[in-house]
Amino acid sequence: MASKSVLTPQSEDFPRWYQDVVAKAEMADNGPVRGTMVIRPYGYAIWERIQREIDDRIKLAGAQNAYFPLFIPESYLSREAEHVEGFSPELAVVTHAGGEELAEPIVVRPTSETVIGEFMAKWIQSYRDLPLLLNQWANVVRWELRPRLFLRSSEFLWQEGHTAHASYEDAQAYANKIHLEVYNDFLNEVLAVPTFLGIKPPRERFAGAINTLTCEGMMRDGKALQLATSHELGQNFARAFEIYYQSEEGQAELCYTTSWGSSTRLVGGLIMAHGDDQGLLVPPRLAPTQVVVIAVRDEPEVNEACERLQAQLIAQGVRSTLDRSRGSFGRRVTDWEIKGVPLRVEVGPRDLNEGVVSVTRRDNGEKLTWPLAGVAQEATKLLATIQRDLYARALEWRDVNTLDVPSVVEAIDVAQTGFAKLSWDLVGASEEAQMNNEAVTVRCLQRADGSIPESELENDLLCIVAKSY
């Protein structure tokens, strides 16, 4: 029997609950410099699973991984004026190194459009070099005034893709491909988080972009979290960095570029989209440990049975951990509940005598008894069920808490606890300012059928309005 949860209830104080989960599930700690974080092994194991799933999809989309420098000459950013203006408050700048003042200040990478643009101009010669599809896994620095672990930190981990194309249509199609086949597929199929897909209104676009596509998820407190974005950059960066190619007709033509990214913010999204008062709830396809095997008593026969059981699970392709700790049984159960492992298998002397094991689903607390001989096969089937159930639970939560409203005033009211959906025609500059005064923003624009528009100028668009992280 699990002991009482050691976490602040969500209904009492959601931000405090989030901090409790991050700490008690051993996900991360605050770093020594304000706004930085130390990602602990369990938190990093989840990030590694996210990386693997997203990276596989990126490679299927044709992009190749590369690496670019952490330090960027300040002049690179200055060449794209709108870009540097958008990031100025967040920049960390190095002015001294090696005991001397630098001739030119160096910016610590906030994103890599500028430095990658410089090398695209060097590498691209003709239409035969296009499209150039690059991705890098890296850390970036954006000086954060109100840090929160995984959600907003001065240094975080991410992937950033950067591509160059011969035409606007090709660039636009690729940005959409990444958004749907990489991000949305991962969010739905692995993270089990349904999203609203759409484009950002002009005032919310990425600095220097002509269009920004976004995936917006609803957290358990009704707030929105931007989970991934893809940007159509037009020819803005190509013009600033002289990214030209020679066409088949022998003419020098400017490229069209895109950029797209997702980050360790996804770990925060995992916590807030699925977690409950007992802690994390990790979808099986993402979980570093899908099944934890716990010995009820520290006895040789029980321990040997646990080892055999774990070996069978691993042979079946199930990611399994054997709890070898010597703490109290109740404390160990609580710890694994907080970590959100999908299935817990408990083995005791009485179970062995009867040839069975006790199994508990983390998502709904259901307790089952399985024959010892068939645990691996049963676990495989139940993990698939849990994955589907978590998505269905999150979808129901989002849909129940998303309301159609006829006015901005009502949208602001609904956005205190959920999402509001209203006609984009009703939102002008003054109405958007009115919402912003209440900490409410337009998260995305979409067509009535939920598809992604090409521009905010399309007719009959809807906007999703919410408070956000």
CATH number of the domain encompassing residue 460: 3.30.110.30
Backbone φ/ψ region at 401: left (φ over 0), alpha (ψ -120 to 50), beta: alpha
Residues 420, 368 share a domain: no
Residues 218, 83 share a domain: yes
Residues 70, 23 share a domain: yes
Residues 240, 373 share a domain: no
* Contact (CB, 8 A) for 215 and 269: no
Q: Which residues of the chain fall short of a pLDDT of 50? A: 1-3
142: containing domain: 14-274
- List, in sequence order, every beta strand (DSSP E) within 25-177: 28-30, 37-39, 64-65, 71-73, 92-97, 100-108, 132-141, 155-165
What is the 8-class DSSP label of residue 4?
A: P
Query: Which of 385, 417, 444 is where one domain is finished?
Result: 385
Residues 370, 298 share a domain: yes
- Total domains in the fold of the chain: 3
Query: Which of 245, 274, 303 is where one domain is finished?
Result: 274
Nearest to 279 by CA among 363, 359, 194, 388: 363
Nearest to 350 by CA among 372, 331, 327, 321: 372
* Sheet arrangement for strand 343-347: 320-323, 291-295, 343-347, 356-361, 367-371
Nearest to 230 by CA among 166, 309, 174, 149: 174
pLDDT score for 276: 98
Residues 356, 254 share a domain: no
Helix (H, G, I), strand (E, B) or coil at 462: strand
Residues 97, 53 share a domain: yes
* Contact (CB, 8 A) for 145 and 181: no
Which backbone phi and psi does 79 adopt, to 5 degrees?
-70, -20
- CATH code, domain carrying 209: 3.30.930.10
pLDDT score for 296: 93
Q: Which two tokens stand for residue 161?
A: 């893709």
Residues 140, 201 share a domain: yes
Residue 412 placed within a domain: yes
Residue 280 placed within a domain: no
Residues 340, 254 share a domain: no
What is the 8-class DSSP label of residue 450?
A: S
Residue 391 placed within a domain: no
- CATH code, domain carrying 345: 3.40.50.800
What is the 3-class SS of 162-228, one letter each residue?
Answer: EEEECCHHHHHHHHHHHHHHHHHHHHHHCCCCCEEEEECCHHHCCCCCCEEEEEEEECCCCCEEEEE
Residue 5 placed within a domain: no
Residue 283 placed within a domain: no
Rounded to the nearest 10°, the torsion over CA 51, 54, 56, 61 is: -150
Residues 310, 456 share a domain: no
Residue 9 placed within a domain: no
Residues 379, 418 share a domain: no
Residue 409 placed within a domain: yes
Residues 303, 261 share a domain: no
pLDDT score for 166: 98
pLDDT score for 5: 61
* CA dihedral (37, 42, 45, 51) positive or negative: negative
* CA dihedral (168, 173, 179, 182) positive or negative: negative
Helix (H, G, I), strand (E, B) or coil at 43: helix
**Looking at the chain, how many residues does it have?**
469
Query: Which of 353, 385, 417 is where one domain is finished?
Result: 385
* Contact (CB, 8 A) for 274 and 218: no
Residue 61 placed within a domain: yes
pLDDT score for 4: 52
